[in-house]
Amino acid sequence: MLDTMSRNGWRITDQRRTLAQIFTNNEGYLSPKDVYDQMSEKYPSVSFDTVYRNLRMLSEMGVLEQFYFMEGGLKFKGSCLDHHHHHLICVNCEKTLTFEYCPMEQQMSLPGSYKILNHRFEVYGICEECQAASS
Please indicate if the annotation marks 80 as binding a ligand: no
Please indicate if the annotation marks 122 as binding a ligand: no
The residues, any chain, with a CB within 8 Å of residue 21's CB and separated by 6 or more, are none
* CA distance linking residue 108 with residue 88, whole number of Å: 21
Please indicate if the annotation marks 105 as binding a ligand: yes
Nearest-CA neighbor of 77 among 24, 130, 113?
24
- Reduced to 3 states (helix: H, G, I; strand: E, B; else coil), residue 98 is strand
What is the 8-class DSSP label of residue 106? Answer: S
Please indicate if the annotation marks 130 as binding a ligand: yes
Binding residues for Fe cation: 84, 105, 119
Binding residues for Zn(2+): 90, 93, 127, 130
Binding residues: 84, 90, 93, 105, 119, 127, 130
